[in-house]
Amino acid sequence: MSEPSTTTTPSTLQRTKSVIAACLGAVLLQIVLAAPLQAAEEYRTVTVTDPYLELHTGPGRGYPVFHVVDRGEDVDIVKRRTDWFLVRADNGKEGWVDLAQMELTLDPDGEQVVFQRASIEDFTNARWETGFLAGDFGGANIVSLYGSYSLNPHVAVELWGSQILGNFSNGWMGSVNLVHETWPEWRVSPFFTLGAGVIHTEPKSTIVQGVDRTDQIGHVGGGFRVYVMRRFLLRAEYKSYVVFTSRDENEEVEEWKVGFAFFF
């Protein structure tokens, strides 16, 4: 696991558990009070002006084209994912079309369609986020991947996976976190996080043979999400972990990470 570690006294451990429980209660209350009402989505109809509109099986160039819509036909825009649009043709077929082709379509009144580019408002209201961070975990190197889903502009649920590489041991860690942002509309948006998970440690071969361990963890922390451009953001954070070992003594570990993320 980490290189240096410190011992957690029973009173310190109890205080840490109390803080985590209190913060979790506050965040869950925020979820109940701030959850927005979901309104029915209205379809937008546009007319194809290119010789044809290519429908892909997924939102990306790597997905094959399985159907084309001819010039003069209408399509309904079902939803948007980054620069790709899920559309429905008159025959009921649904497929994904890129932004470049969609910008060549016309509104029912004959005006060229204009789609809003990603902006800081999208950063504030984005539902999904994924990113890569790297840093220090108690003296060891750590690299992490995460995925996030926003329940509302203030509260998100995250799933993390990390690889830990140290001088004396390697390991991996997985956790589920809750994140709260007080000012999600700010370009530099501070956040608070807490969560729980597991950590697996594999000591490297030394004179004294170590034993692999899998322990439960809990953490509190905070950081900043910084809107950079289009759908990219910079993220930096600090977390303080408690590792609940099978021995009488538990461990405290500090973590610092920074990296980039993509929202949609």
CATH of the domain at 83: 2.30.30.40
Looking at the fold, whether 222 and 248 belong to one and the same domain comes out as yes
The answer to whether residue 246 is domain-embedded is yes
Q: Please tell me the pTM assigned to this model.
A: 0.61
- Residue 2's pLDDT is 44
- Residue 144's pLDDT is 96
Whether the predicted pLDDT of 19 surpasses 60: no
Looking at the fold, whether 155 and 72 belong to one and the same domain comes out as no
Percent of the chain predicted with pLDDT > 90: 50
Provide the mean pLDDT of the chain. 82
The answer to whether residue 109 is domain-embedded is no
Looking at the fold, whether 12 and 95 belong to one and the same domain comes out as no
- Residue 229's pLDDT is 78
Residue-number span of the structural domain to which 236 is assigned = 6-33+122-263
- Residue 80's pLDDT is 82
Say which residues have a Cβ less than 8 Å from residue 125's Cβ, sequence separation at least 6. Answer: 153
Say which residues have a Cβ less than 8 Å from residue 7's Cβ, sequence separation at least 6. Answer: 249, 250, 251
- Residue 117's pLDDT is 64
What is the number of domains present in the chain? 2
Hey, what long-range contacts does 72-77 have (CB within 8 A, 24 or more apart)? 72/47, 72/48, 73/47, 73/48, 74/45, 74/46, 74/47, 74/48, 75/45, 75/46, 75/48, 75/105, 76/43, 76/44, 76/45, 77/43, 77/44, 77/45, 77/46, 77/102
Looking at the fold, whether 145 and 201 belong to one and the same domain comes out as yes
The answer to whether residue 81 is domain-embedded is yes
Looking at the fold, whether 73 and 136 belong to one and the same domain comes out as no
What's the pLDDT tens digit per position in 210-253? 678 899 999 999 999 999 877 889 999 999 999 998 766 788 99
Q: Region 172-189: what's the mean pLDDT?
A: 93
pLDDT-derived band at 24 (thresholds 50, 70, 90) equals: low
Looking at the fold, whether 19 and 100 belong to one and the same domain comes out as no
What's the pLDDT tens digit per position in 141-158? 999 999 999 999 899 999
- Residue 206's pLDDT is 60
Looking at the fold, whether 197 and 86 belong to one and the same domain comes out as no
pLDDT-derived band at 31 (thresholds 50, 70, 90) equals: very low
The answer to whether residue 116 is domain-embedded is no
Q: With the C-alpha atoms ordered 122, 126, 132, 138, is the resulting torsion angle positive or negative?
A: positive
Torsion of CA 109, 113, 118, 124, to 10 degrees: 10
The answer to whether residue 225 is domain-embedded is yes
The answer to whether residue 115 is domain-embedded is no
The answer to whether residue 89 is domain-embedded is yes
Whether the predicted pLDDT of 11 surpasses 60: no
**8 A C-beta contact, residue 147 and residue 159:** yes
The answer to whether residue 110 is domain-embedded is no
Looking at the fold, whether 53 and 29 belong to one and the same domain comes out as no
Looking at the fold, whether 206 and 254 belong to one and the same domain comes out as yes
44-47 vs 232-244, strand pairing mode: unpaired
DSSP string, the chain: --SS-EEEPHHHHHHHHHHHHHHHHHHHHHHHHHPPPPPPPPPEEEE--SSEEEEESSSSTTSPEEEEEETT-EEEEEEEETTEEEEEETTS-EEEEEHHHHTT-B-TTSPBP--PPP-HHHHHH-SEEEEEEEEEETTEEEEEEEEEEEEETTEEEEEEEEEEE-SSEEEEEEEEEEEEES-TTSSEEEEEEEEEEEEEEEEPP-SSPP--EEEEEEEEEEEEEEEEETTEEEEEEEEEEEEE-SSS-EEEEEEEEEEEEEE-
Whether the predicted pLDDT of 119 surpasses 80: no
* CATH classification of the domain holding 211: 2.40.160.20
Looking at the fold, whether 243 and 188 belong to one and the same domain comes out as yes
- Residue 82's pLDDT is 72
pLDDT-derived band at 39 (thresholds 50, 70, 90) equals: very low
- Residue 221's pLDDT is 96
Looking at the fold, whether 15 and 136 belong to one and the same domain comes out as yes
Looking at the fold, whether 81 and 184 belong to one and the same domain comes out as no
What's the pLDDT tens digit per position in 46-73? 999 889 899 999 988 889 999 999 999 9
